[in-house]
Structure 1
């Protein structure tokens, strides 16, 4: 999927489960390596242990959280402890990019279990920032752009690009025209596949089935579809079969440790 001399993105899935983890699998987290930049998009419960299989905590240049559900952000807490008591030789704080409204929510959580720490609990290791969804975010050579999704709380899909290479991550969403537009012509589309076919009729809802993820991929004309954020109740072979009925390109089923380079 890459050409000589072309700037590349390497994405490693460090958490491929939905909010109910599959046995031995973590919740949402995606380690992105773009040129010299190393950052994580989402860091759900249990995922930090997988991140440090690939990169030391001190090597990270940033963490981007797409929305404030525990299966997408909770492991910023163990990462905080790793940075606080690890080998952070330069003393530089790690950029933690939260969605609008995310910082007060995170501070309330911290206040509940570490009231004695105050603002220093986050501030001694994190440079907490709120990203603006309407503006591009730069982390090293990578440019991140966002689109709101169709979820229960404010949530943002992310397009990571460098040069002509791009990977789009849906975060959590029901079928969404905005997410489809963000994914237009991407090299790879990491899309959630939480629901069964039977659950497609549920209302309200904030998730996709594999079939619906494939429909978005087809409309966006992406090169490759990678299904992620799926439960233990749907076999990977069934996910792939549903998706193949709607998308003719390559289809992968993400698992913890899956790596993609574009």
Structure 2
């Protein structure tokens, strides 16, 4: 598997860095787009045909999903690269309603995306098999229905874990257990002290979780424009001895 960072800015885009979006590329199978925040679709176009991908959402805050209506325009109407069939879209239970309202033609209307996506609702700890990958959601702590995601390549057993947005929870430790690559948010910068509870984690907490889970490679992401990435990285290093990187647009991680 290969992870291509489409965008990694936290809570909103920053100059040169879209909000959350990650592309999982696989051999001989459609790719998987994991979250699609504002600006991420443009970077996806630079890598591959956006129609040739499944889409999975950790949750439906705008910074993780707002490019989805534009993706449907591409899939339905592009003169050359429109979707030839349906892919999977997996996410929280209300995904068809929330996403449908974003692209509906009338107020309170719902654009039915079942013409181009088959929907799979997340249920905590219940795996979904999507082509060559098994994805298992874990309950996240966030103001709306949210999940951390564990992706395992069936043929190799390689694992990518993704925190989504969450406060510190043992569910995230279980999600990331022995992962080859752990994409972990670090919204609060170096520490969560004095920050809003039950929303996000810090670089220090990301490092602690990576150690407790025994992950092989930690990648910090979802750092907002006003936080210092290097300070966040240093805070993580104080709690995790393995390799650490910052997620940046265009970054590639082989698993």
TM-score scaled to structure 2, two decimals?
0.91
Per-residue CA shift, 1:186-222, capped at 9, x if unaligned? Answer: 1111000100345433343310111111111011010
Does 126-135 or 79-88 show the bigger shift?
126-135
- Contact 2:68 / 2:99 at 8 angstroms: preserved in 1? no
Task: Measure, in 2, the Cα distance between the counterparts of 1:236 and 1:36.
Answer: 36
Q: How far apart are 1:74 and its partner, in Å?
A: 1.0
From 21, 37, 44, the counterpart of 1:44: 37
From 49, 62, 68, the counterpart of 1:70: 62
Could you say what secondary structure the match of 1:248 adopts?
coil
Task: Measure, in 2, the Cα distance between the counterparts of 1:32 and 1:90.
Answer: 18
Could you say what secondary structure the match of 1:12 adopts?
strand
Could you say what secondary structure the match of 1:200 adopts?
coil
Per-residue CA shift, 1:150-182, capped at 9, x if unaligned? Answer: 111111111111122111000001111001111
Structure-1 residue corresponding to 2:220: 227
Q: How far apart are 1:96 and its partner, in Å?
A: 1.6
- Work out which structure has the larger RCO, using CA pairs closer than 8 Å and 6 or more positions apart in sequence: 1
- Contact 2:96 / 2:113 at 8 angstroms: preserved in 1? no
Task: Measure, in 1, the Cα distance between the counterparts of 2:83 and 2:72.
Answer: 16
Task: Measure, in 1, the Cα distance between the counterparts of 2:112 and 2:136.
Answer: 29
- Contact 2:191 / 2:204 at 8 angstroms: preserved in 1? no
Per-residue CA shift, 1:106-161, capped at 9, x if unaligned? Answer: 223333xx229x65552333333323333211121111111011111111111111
- Are 1:131 and 2:122 an aligned pair? yes
Per-residue CA shift, 1:67-102, capped at 9, x if unaligned? Answer: 110111111111111111122467312322221222
Does 218-227 or 77-86 show the bigger shift?
77-86
In the TM superposition, what are the counterparts of 1:88-99 in structure 2 within 5 Å?
88=81, 91-99=84-92
* Paired positions, count: 251
Structure-1 residue corresponding to 2:149: 158
From 109, 114, 125, the counterpart of 2:102: 109
In the TM superposition, what are the counterparts of 1:56-67 in structure 2 within 5 Å?
56-60=49-53, 62-67=54-59
* 5+ long unaligned stretches in structure 1: 1-8
Structure-1 residue corresponding to 2:131: 140
Could you say what secondary structure the match of 2:51 adopts?
helix
Question: Which portions of structure 1, spanning 4 or more consecutive aligned residues, are displaced by more than 6 angstroms?
Answer: none
- Are 1:244 and 2:241 an aligned pair? no
Q: How far apart are 1:54 and its partner, in Å?
A: 1.0
Distance 1:34 1:133, change over 3 A: farther
- Contact 1:145 / 1:159 at 8 angstroms: preserved in 2? yes
Does 94-103 or 218-227 show the bigger shift?
94-103
Task: Measure, in 2, the Cα distance between the counterparts of 1:40 and 1:160.
Answer: 12
* 5+ long unaligned stretches in structure 2: none
Task: Measure, in 2, the Cα distance between the counterparts of 1:188 and 1:22.
Answer: 24
Q: How far apart are 1:226 and its partner, in Å?
A: 0.2
Q: How far apart are 1:58 and its partner, in Å?
A: 2.5
Per-residue CA shift, 1:15-51, capped at 9, x if unaligned? Answer: 1011122211111111001222211011111100111
TM-score scaled to structure 1, two decimals?
0.89
Does 205-214 or 81-90 show the bigger shift?
81-90
